[in-house]
Amino acid sequence: MPSSAGQSTTASVDRRGFLKTSLGATAGLLAAPAFATWLGAADAKAATGPAAFVDDYQSNVTTNQTPETNAVVRILGGMSQVWKTGGAWDTGRVLDGEVLRANMRYCARITQARTEAQAKEAFLYDRRHQSYAMIGGLGPLAGLYTSGAKAVTSITTAPDGTPPGKINDTLPADAPAGSALGAGSYDSDLGKVAKLVDTVRGPYASGNPAKFAFQYPRPWRMNEDSEVVDTGKKDDLGYPVYDSDVVVAPQLLRQRSDTPQEDGGFPSGHTNAFHLAGLAYAYAVPERFQELVTRAFELSHTRIMSGMHSTVDVIGGRIMATALTAATLADPANAELKAAARAQALAYFTEKTGTTPDTLYAYAHSDADDAYADRRANARAVGHRLTYVLPRRGRNDPLTVPKGAEVLLETRLPYLSATQRREVLRTTGLPSGYVLLDGFEQWGRLNLFAAADGYGAFDTDVTVTLDAAAGGFHAADSWRNDIEGDGGLTKRGTGTLTLTGHNRYHGGTVVEDGTLVAASPNALGQGDVRVTGGTLRADQVLRVRGSYVQEGESTLELTLSQNRGAALTVSRRVLLGRGGVLSLRLDAERPPVAGTTVPVLSAPALRGRFDRVELDSTTLRAVPVHTADGLSVRLVKR
């Protein structure tokens, strides 16, 4: 598991500081003596701190139900700031009324407004194998996956009203030979992928030990204040009726447990399973990384919609799944399997779709009917569900990325180093101040949807190298975040990197090789731009807030448009050295016509000339017109 000595030291200090300031202030998690013992042990280990989650994840077994013995219980310790576990399942005490009242009100509002269609959908995802349900996040690749993996389900429809008995997903009688529930059969074209999903969801991934530890009841057992109040009444199924406004979906009434001491709500087991499977698929098929993350959030939300879980339950399930997936993928014992799963998925999908590693991403996003085709809608859905009703309190403390978390981006950002992937996670993480998310190691602050879009800030200078020959994301990728920071970017390698955000980084941009695409007017931030090799391409009007220098065998590609002003505006001077090429193309929607003079480059001062000016047109040619403060071209017929 990659880490540096410096990194480990910093993480230990931060973790110990968190234990003293956050967890030490609580009345206790579980039995207070056990929690105090763990805190004391942590203080005694001042030099190293408690074991990192990725090194201790196999402690998550039913026999371990304290923070000192169970790594999952430890990272979910933020729950102890809002809920004090009692001696029995119904004797816990609310510690943070603001959070838990908002939690219950949200559940009541969602379930009371639920439609019949939503109730049926909640039933499907409650009863269907969670690994199978996550396949839908593969979009245009989903059908190919189910056939290639021989994955099946028996839960295809939901009953009207209350079913006569409990319904479980079983292998259908008409299932093809060799089929399997969930992610699929190991004896299939995608057997390695199925095995990876099952391994991530392995023996150390259960939410039950934490459920037993926290004993936070399901929402329909509590009143608005998260207090367990038995009214003494029973419903028509013989279940106790509590003072809750949360409505359980009728189709799920038979699925409720009549042994509440074994039926805790926090953390949500289904949510844990959805995110575990989703992140495992995302590792093997990173072309659908964000869509799989979005689907995991969407399916987890059905747990609230159904009335079976509350927002804090769902948040807890996501936190533990994020950490467990990272730990499993970072475990050296699984190194061969994860590599084989990624290779198998890539080979299978490129063969079945007739694509290459370079074009598979486009195919995987080619279906207009894809439920996750709208990236902005996906971002909004995930953004809300990262925190739900949690208020933000306190100052913005820096995030120390948990050890091993960088493995989650290993196939999505394969051209970055482990250290760089950690920086991506850090700069895209959520701010501090959210109870539950600020737990031990702060796994809840990771925002994997945003991290898939690259850096959120260049706090130091970043050098990125993409290799066109390696294919896939190595050859071409897009960073869609709005990048801030004092650092700058240097683009190397033969591949293509596209920046689409409204960027505000100050350290400047250097293009040494390959192609850097500026897909927004402010893509290059607020510093100087220097092109010494390769190509800088602007898909629309581009602004350079500092100086622009181009030299050596390099190319500037700009688009000419009618009545739109200069294609490139530079705030300071422009210096053009020997060897530079200006390549122009006509805007497909508003092309300028022959006989017009079109502004290309505007700046307070311009020195030098391009060695060559090219125009991508069979009917026109561009005649450069230089001035002291810019460059225009006169379009004439060939």
366: number of Cβ within 10 Å: 14
In contact, 437 and 390? CB cutoff 8 Å: yes
pLDDT at 524 over 70: yes
Distance from C-alpha of 542 to C-alpha of 493, rounded to nearest angstrom: 23
Token pair, residue 172, equals 């259908």
Distance from C-alpha of 277 to C-alpha of 483, rounded to nearest angstrom: 30
User: First CA to last CA across the chain, in angstroms?
Assistant: 61
Token pair, residue 26, equals 């609580």
Residue 261, C-beta contacts closer than 8 angstroms, at least 6 positions apart: 88, 89, 215
Average pLDDT over residues 95-108: 97
pLDDT at 426 over 60: yes
pLDDT at 19 over 50: no
- For 312-364, the pLDDT digits (tens) are 999 999 999 999 999 999 999 999 999 999 999 999 999 999 999 999 999 99
- For 73-85, the pLDDT digits (tens) are 999 999 999 999 9
The whole-number pLDDT of residue 54 equals 98
Token pair, residue 273, equals 């399973």
At 66 the three-state DSSP class reads coil
Higher per-residue confidence, 439 vs 541: 541
pLDDT at 6 over 60: no
pLDDT at 538 over 70: yes
User: Predicted confidence band at 27 (pLDDT cuts at 50, 70, 90)?
Assistant: very low
Q: What is the mean pLDDT of the chain?
A: 91
Residue 7, C-beta contacts closer than 8 angstroms, at least 6 positions apart: 403, 422
Residue 90, C-beta contacts closer than 8 angstroms, at least 6 positions apart: 217, 221, 228, 230, 260
Q: Does the pTM of the predicted model rise above 0.85?
A: yes
The whole-number pLDDT of residue 256 equals 82
The whole-number pLDDT of residue 38 equals 43
pLDDT at 462 over 80: yes
Average pLDDT over residues 167-172: 95
User: Predicted confidence band at 7 (pLDDT cuts at 50, 70, 90)?
Assistant: very low
- For 303-312, the pLDDT digits (tens) are 999 999 999 9
Q: Given the structure tokens 């009618």, which residue do they identify?
A: 562
> Rounded to the nearest 10 degrees, what angle do helices 142-149 and 191-200 cross at?
90
Ramachandran bin of 238, using left for φ above 0, alpha for ψ from -120 to 50, beta for the remaining angles: left
Higher per-residue confidence, 477 vs 263: 477
Ramachandran bin of 324, using left for φ above 0, alpha for ψ from -120 to 50, beta for the remaining angles: alpha
Sort 5 into a burial class: Cβ within 10 Å, 0-12 / 13-18 / 19+: exposed
